A = this chain, B = another copy of it.
Amino acid sequence: MTTDDANTSLKRLPERTIERLSEYRRMLLECLKQGRTHIYSHELASMHGITAVQVRRDLMLIGFSSDTKKGYDVEVLIEFIGTILDSPDGLNVGIIGMGNLAQAVTHYFNGKRSKLRITAAFDIDPQKVGHTVAGVPCFHMESFAEEALKHDLRVVILTSPSSVAPEMVEPITQAGIRGVLNFTSTPLNFPEDVYVEDYDIITLLEKVAYFSK
């Protein structure tokens, strides 16, 4: 199997598996901090409220197997998950609309160790443009294409007001951005090759409220 083949087949990993891999890694980093070197699938499972079978299936899918009786080697597994999830040189993220929520998100996010970094912000407010906001330089939305190229942005977090969110689709697409985390409450029509994850807190809270009735 060539590297290309491997990438192609990994590309098909299910969304839920990717989510769980990210969560496993976070738990594993926590274990490492506590000085643990090995962990069993049933321990990882119980931390996530899933079954050990599910954990083993996920790790089999990415081609990871453990051959010790002590369980998975924590460091090795962290490294292995990294080869699936991370870009080797890290990946730069832009954030559009630098309101309070975006600032809090940027602080929160850049405070964690991650291969993803929020490196550029965009707004139209003269109070913000040209300044450093939440630790990142803020540019005018008009120069999005130029700065996206300069900062090598691959992914954006969209937190502009919902009313103007549809106007952001064209500049984002034209700049070659391939992934969008949409914090606005407006569903947006991106071309098919742009991966969009809608992240609307009101929908989620309405869902929690419904199922807790």
Task: Judge if A157 is at the interface, Cβ distance under 8 Å.
Answer: yes
Number of this chain's copies in the complex = 2
Q: Contact: B205 with A181, CB < 8 Å?
A: yes
Q: Contact: B206 with A109, CB < 8 Å?
A: no
Q: Contact: A204 with B213, CB < 8 Å?
A: no
Output the nearest chain B residue to A20 by Cβ-Cβ distance: B203
Task: Judge if A105 is at the interface, Cβ distance under 8 Å.
Answer: yes
Q: Contact: B201 with A23, CB < 8 Å?
A: no
Q: Contact: A205 with B104, CB < 8 Å?
A: no
Q: Contact: A209 with B108, CB < 8 Å?
A: no
Do A195 and B179 form a contact, CB below 8 Å, given A187-B47, A206-B22? no
Chain B contacts of A154 at CB under 8 A? 209, 212
Contact with B along A1-25 (1 / 0, CB 8 A): 0000000000101010011001100
Contact with B along A69-104 (1 / 0, CB 8 A): 000000000000000110100010100000111011
Task: Judge if A114 is at the interface, Cβ distance under 8 Å.
Answer: yes
Q: Contact: A205 with B109, CB < 8 Å?
A: yes
Restricting to A45-85, which residues have a CB under 8 Å from any CB of B? Answer: 46-49, 84-85
Task: Judge if A202 is at the interface, Cβ distance under 8 Å.
Answer: yes
* Given A85-B209, A155-B205, A181-B208, 18 extra CB contacts under 8 A: A15-B207, A18-B206, A19-B207, A23-B187, A27-B187, A47-B187, A48-B187, A91-B209, A100-B108, A103-B104, A109-B201, A114-B202, A116-B209, A154-B209, A179-B211, A180-B208, A194-B212, A195-B211
